[in-house]
Structure 1
Amino acid sequence: MNRLISQLSCASALALAMAVSGHAQAQTEIDVAMIGEPDTFDPMVSTKDVVSIVTQHFVETLFTFDDNWATVPLLAAAMPDVSDDGLTYVIPIREGVTFHDGSTMDSADVVGSLERWLKVASRGKSVAAYVDSVEATGDYEVTIKLNQPYAPLLSLLAFSNSAAVVYPEEILADHIDNVVGTGPYEIADYVPDQYIQLVRFDGYSQPTGAAERKQVPDEIRFVPVADPNTRVEGLLSGQFDFADSLSTESYDRLESSDAAEPLLLEPFGWPVFAMNRNKGMMTDIEIRKAVQAALPFDDMLYAAFGDEKFYQVDGAMYPEGWVWNNDGGVELYNQNDIEAAAEHLEKAGYDGTPLRILTSRQYEFHYQMALVAKAALEAAGFKVQMDVVDWATLAERRNNPDLWDIYITHSPFLPEPALISSFSAQALEGWDEPVKNEIFARFNTETDPEARKAAFKELQTELYEDVGFIKVGNFNSLQGKSRALEGVSASPWPKFWNASTSE
C-alpha cells in the first residue's frame, strides 16, 4: 500500500496549500465510509469493488452505463458505428478532453490504453482472443476489428471494474505507479489507513446526456472503516455522509434516526463460494459435488441476513423479472443433503485434508454464512479450516492458489452475464473446463437475443453440473446516508460527483 503514496496527482500542492490557508474549510466535503481502501488506483488490474468505487471518480472509460444499465458514450463522442457483420467498431472520440497532467486526449491514448487493457485486465484478457486489431483511424477516431462477433464488447468497455480506462500514452506500462485520468475529480492526498482525498478537477471536459457528472462537491473523502458497527455509528453521529455495506441489524436504527436513513438496494446481488479449480481438493468434481450437496443455503442466508426482506432463497443466476432468468440446473440448488455429500466424499476417497475456507468479517454476512457452512460440511465428513482475515489480506491471498480451497465473496446482478468474472477461464477460480468454455464462447459470439438466452440457460446448467462455483442465493444490500445528503442513490458502486448536503 505504501507505494500508492506516489500516486498523488498534481493537485496535491494546491489542495494542501488551500488547507493551510483555511480556504479548504469553506468547501463542500462529502465523507464516505468504506469497508477498506484500494490496494491500487489502477482499476484495469483489479476487480475489487473498493477500487471501482473510488477510481470511477478520477479515471474514465469510452462508454458507461445510464441508470437503466444501457450503454452510453463517456469519452466516446457517440455510440460506435458497427458493421453489418459485427466485426468492425468505429468509435468517435471526444475532442478537447484534458488529462489531469494538462495533456489532451487523442486516439493514440485510447489505442494504447485499450491494448494495455487487452493484455493486463482480467476482463480485457477474456476479450483479447476475439480482437484482431485496435487502430487509430483518425486523430479522434478508433477502429476495433474483431475476428468474430462478440456481443458483450460494449458492456465490457463501459464497466468500471477491471476497467478499460484511458490513460495518457506516455505513462502506459505493465505497472502504472502514477495514475493520470480524465475524470471530474483528482487525487489531492492519500494517507494509508486514514483517507483518500479527491478534489474537483477544474479542467474537466463535461460529457452530455446520461453521462453528465456535475462536480457538485469540492472534495470527496473516502475513509476506510473495517468494522460495520463503526460505520453505522459514524453515520448516525454525522461523521460520515454515506456508509457502504452495512449489516442488516442496523436497518431499524437508521430508519428511526433523525440524522441518517437506510438505502436498500433490492435486489442487489448474490453471495458466492468461489472454488479453487487451479489447485488442491476442489479440482476433484466429487469433492465439489459434496460441498454443493451439503450446504444449507436457506440456513446460511438466514444466519447472514436474519429477515427475509433482505434475502431470497433462489438458485437462478438472475432473479425473476430479469431477461436472463431461467431454471437450468436449479434442481441441484439447496439440496441440504448430508448423506449425499458423504457419498460424494467416499467416491473421492477423501483423506481428511482440511478444507480451507477463506473469509473476512469486514463483510459480516460472509462470515456468518461461513459458520453455518462449516457446521454442515463437518456433518458431511469434511474437516474444515476457517481462515478469517481482513478483506485486504483475503484479496491478496486469493491470488495464490496454494492458500485456499474456497473464498467467499459476492457480486451485484450485472446487465450482461459476460461481466461475471467467475465464468472466465482467466478468473482466480480457474474454471477452465471444455464444455463450459464452448458454451461461454458461443454465448459471447451469438448476436440473436433469443439464442443468447438459450445459451445462457445451458451455461447455468453446466455451472450446477460441474460445480464451477456456488451461488448461495439473492440478497439486498444495505447502505446508509445522511438525511441531508442529496444526489446519491443506492448503487453497487455509489457515485458522489452529483452529491450535495443541505443545511
Structure 2
Amino acid sequence: MKLKLAFLVATALIAAPSLSMAQEKGGVINVATIGEPPTLDPMVSTADLVGIVTQHIFETLYTFDTSWKVTPLLAESLPEISADGKTYTIKLRTGIKFHDGSDMTSEDVLASLQRWTKLASRGKQAAGFIESIAAADPATVTIKLKQPYAPLVSLLAFNNSAAIVVPAEKQAEPMTEFVGTGPYMLKERKADQYIQLARFEGYKPRSGESDGYGGARHQYLDEIRFVPVPDPNTRVEAAVSGQYDYVDSIPVESFDKLKASSASAPMLLKPFGYPVFVFNTKEGLSSKLEVRKAITQALSMEDMLAAAFGSKDFYALDGAFYPSNYGWHTEAGVEGNYNLAAPEKAAEALKAAGYNGEPLRILTSRQYEFHYKMAQVAAEYLKLAGFKVDMQVVDWATLTQRRTDPKLWDIYITHSPFLPEPALIGALSTSSPGWWDTPARKAAVDPFTSEADPAKRVALWANVQKTIYDELPLIKIGDFNAVAAKSKKLEGVDPAPWPYFWNASIKK
C-alpha cells in the first residue's frame, strides 16, 4: 500500500470541497495576502504568493485533485504515453476562450510550452529531457522526450513556475498583457494597494464535481481583490475584526484569539509543509561544502521550531523531507546530520575550512513571521560557532528578486508544502536560486526522474534525499502546520496550500 501511494499524499493536503445547499452568486471578497507579488507572470517565479493570485487568471494543461493525483484542466484527458515512455500525446479541450475573446488552440499551447522551457525554472528542469514539442493538429500537442521523464506531467500541473497557457501572440518577455483562460480576469492592479480580478463571462468550466484544484471551477463571486498586508500582527487583527473575508498566513500563536472571534474562524492545514534554509552553492561563503556543513552542525532545529511556532501542536521535529504517513517517506541521510546543535564543534570545522570572518548573509522577511523568528535563533547559534552574521530583513517581493542574484546572499529562508512529486522540490532544479549542480546531484536525480516504476522511484528518492544531506544545497528545519482565517460568511473555501476562490461565495 505504501508503494501505491508513492505519487500521492497519504493525507490529502486539499480538503474535500465544502458543500452548500445553494451557494449565492454575486459579491466581492477581499483577501489579505502577505505582501505584493513581485510579478503576475507565474512562469518566472516560484513564489507561492504569485501562484495564489495568478492561478485564478491563468490555467495549465493539468492540475491536482484532492488526493494530489494529476487531473486534466485545459487538456481533455491525461496524456497518451507511448510504450517506450518518450512520446506524450495531449488532447486539448475545445471551445476554450482566452480573456481577449480568442479561441485556445494547439498553437497557443505550443508557444506557451516553448516559453516555459526557456524562462521557467521548472520548464528548464524539463527542457533537458525534451527533444521536441509540436502542434499535431488544432486540438493536439505532442511532446517527444530524449529519455523517459516521470515528473513531466506533475511539472505541467504545478502552479509554481507554472506552464500556463497564454495566446501565441502574447508571449512577451517580460509579460506585458495578462491574458489567460481562468475563471477570473485581471481588472486592475494598483501596486501595494490591491489586485482586482473580475469574473470572466466567457469561462468554460470542466463538467462534473469540483475536486481540489481540479474538476469544475464555479464563478459565484463577481470580484476577488487581493490586498497586501505585510505585517503579520495587522493580519491577525484584521482577521479578528472581520476586515477581510480571507487572511493568509496567520502566526500560529494567534490561533486561540481567532477561535474567539465572532467575525472569522481559523483554518488549520495539517500537516502543511516545512521551512528550509537554502544555500547559495554558486558563489560566496556558502559555496564551500565545508562551510555549509559547519552551519548545519551549529544549528538547533528544535529551538528554531519552538521559537517560530511555540506549541508542538503546530510543529514536529523531523529531518525527512516527507513525514511517515507519505509514500515518499525515508530516513536516508537524516541520522547524524539533523538537529545537531553543536556550535563548538562547528567552530572547529569552520576554522579548518579557513573561515576569515566574512559576513554570512542571511536573507529573510518578516511577512512570514516564522521565517524571521527562525533566523533570529539561527543567528545566535551561528555567532557561537564564530560566524559574523549579516541578517538582511527585507519584504518578500525584494527577497524573491534578490535571491536570483548569486552575488547578494549566502542563505535565504523559505518554506514549501509537501509536494506530490519530489521532483517538484525547487532545489532539484539547477536553475533554481541556490544553483545546486554537481556530479553527485546528477547521479542521484537523473535516475530518479527517468524511472517510471513507482516502487523503484521510492528507493531512488531515498538516494536523492541522502545526497541532499551529503551536499547540503538546503537544510530542512522541520514540519509545520499552517493557519489562515476566513469570514464566517465565506463559503466554499477549504484549507489548501495555495488558497483558491473559485467555488467561493458569500452567505447572504
> Residues 292-348 of structure 1, C-alpha deviation per residue, up to 9 Å, x if partnerless?
100000000000000001000000000111011001111111111122211210210
Counterpart position of 1:472? 477
Which amino acid in structure 2 is aligned with residue 266 of structure 1? K
What is the 5 A alignment of 1:308-327? Answer: 308-327=312-331
Aligned residue in 1 for 2:22: none
**Rounded Cα–Cα distance in structure 1 between residues aligned with 2:359 and 2:169:** 49
> Does residue 488 of structure 1 match 2:493?
yes
What is the 5 A alignment of 1:362-401?
362-401=367-406
Q: Kindly report which structure 2 residues correspond to 1:2-401, keeping only aligned pairs within 5 A, or say none.
A: 27-209=26-208, 210=211, 211-331=215-335, 332-401=337-406
Alignment counterpart, residue 429 of structure 2, candidates 416, 419, 424: 424
Amino acid corresponding to residue 297 of structure 2 in structure 1: A
**Residue-pair matches, total:** 478
- 2: CA distance between counterparts of 1:27 and 1:502? 10
User: What is the CA–CA distance in structure 1 between the aligned matches of 2:90 and 2:68, rounded to whole Å?
Assistant: 20
Residues of 2 paired with 1:499 and 1:440: CA distance? 39
Letter in 1 for 2:157: A
Per the TM alignment, residue 401 of structure 1 is displaced from its structure 2 partner at its CA by 1.3
Gaps of at least 5 residues in structure 1 are 1-25
AA in 2 matched with 1:251: F
Deviation at 1:208, TM superposition (A): 2.2
Distance (Å, rounded) in 1 between the aligned partners of 2:110 and 2:486:
39
Q: Secondary structure at the match of 2:409?
A: coil
Q: SS in structure 1 opposite 2:372?
A: helix
Partner Cα separation in structure 2 for residue 387 and residue 27 of structure 1: 44
SS at match of 1:278: coil
- SS of the equivalent of 1:290 reads helix
Secondary structure of the 1:91 match is: strand
Cα shift readout 1:202-240 (whole Å, capped 9, x = no counterpart) = 001111234210011111010000011111221222220
Give yes or no for contact 2:241–2:261 (8 Å, CA) kept in 1.
Answer: no
Separation in 1 of the partners of 2:495 and 2:247?
A: 11
Question: By percentage of residues, which structure has more helix?
Answer: 1
Q: Could you tell me how far apart the structure 1 residues matched to 2:129 and 2:146 are?
A: 6
Letter aligned with residue 163 of structure 2: A
Paired letter, 1:338: P
Is the contact between residue 273 and residue 415 of structure 2 (CA under 8 Å) also seen in structure 1? yes
Determine helix, strand or coil for the equivalent of 1:459. helix
Aligned partners of 1:74, 1:392: CA distance in 2, in Å? Answer: 29
Are the aligned partners of 1:30 and 1:499 in contact in 2 as well (CA < 8 Å)? no
SS in 2 for 1:186: strand
Deviation, structure 1 residue 121: 0.5
Structure ranking higher on relative contact order (CA contacts 8 Å, 6+ apart): 2
Alpha carbons 1:311, 1:476 under 8 Å: kept? yes
The residue type equivalent to 1:196 in the other structure is I
- d(CA) in 1 for partners of 2:295, 2:445: 24
- Root mean square deviation, CA, Å: 1.1
Percent same amino acid at aligned positions? Answer: 55
Q: Deviations over 1:394-414 (max 9, x none)?
A: 112111111111111111110
Q: Report SS of the residue matched to 2:415.
A: strand
* Residues in 2 aligned to 1:282 and 1:189: alpha-carbon distance in whole angstroms: 41
Whichever residue aligns with residue 184 of structure 1, its letter is: P
Which of 416, 437, 453 is the equivalent residue of 1:448? 453
Amino acid paired to 2:191: P
Given that residues 333 and 467 in structure 2 are in contact (C-alpha distance below 8 angstroms), is that contact kept between their aligned partners in structure 1? yes
Secondary structure (helix, strand or coil) at the match of 2:313 reads helix
Contact 2:26 2:220 survives alignment (8 Å): no
1:4 aligned partner: none
CA contact (8 A) 1:425 1:437 kept: no
Where in structure 1 do 4 or more consecutive aligned residues deviate above 6 Å? none
Which residue of structure 2 aligns with residue 13 of structure 1? none
The answer to whether residue 443 in structure 2 is matched with residue 438 in structure 1 is: yes
Q: CA deviation at 1:27?
A: 4.3
> What amino acid is aligned across from residue 191 of structure 1 in structure 2?
K
For residues 411-469 of structure 1, the C-alpha deviation after alignment (integer angstroms, 9 at most, x for no partner) is 11100001101111111101111111121011000111121111111111111111121
Are 2:26 and 2:505, in contact at CA under 8 Å, matched by a contact in 1? Answer: no
After TM superposition, the structure 1 stretch with the greater mean CA deviation from structure 2, 235-244 or 318-327, is 235-244
Quote how far apart the aligned CAs of 1:255 are: 1.0
| Contact 1:296–1:335 (CA under 8 A) maintained in structure 2 | yes
3-state SS of 1:387 partner: strand
Q: Distance in 2 between matches of 1:248 and 1:276?
A: 29
**CA distance, structure 2, for counterparts of residue 42 and residue 380 of structure 1:** 41
- Aligned partner of residue 418 in structure 1, secondary structure: helix
Q: Deviations over 1:152-207 (max 9, x none)?
A: 11100011110001011111133221121011000111111111111100001111
Q: CA deviation at 1:387?
A: 0.8
3-state SS of the aligned residue for 1:458? Answer: helix
Q: Contact 2:178/2:186 (CA < 8 Å) preserved in 1?
A: no
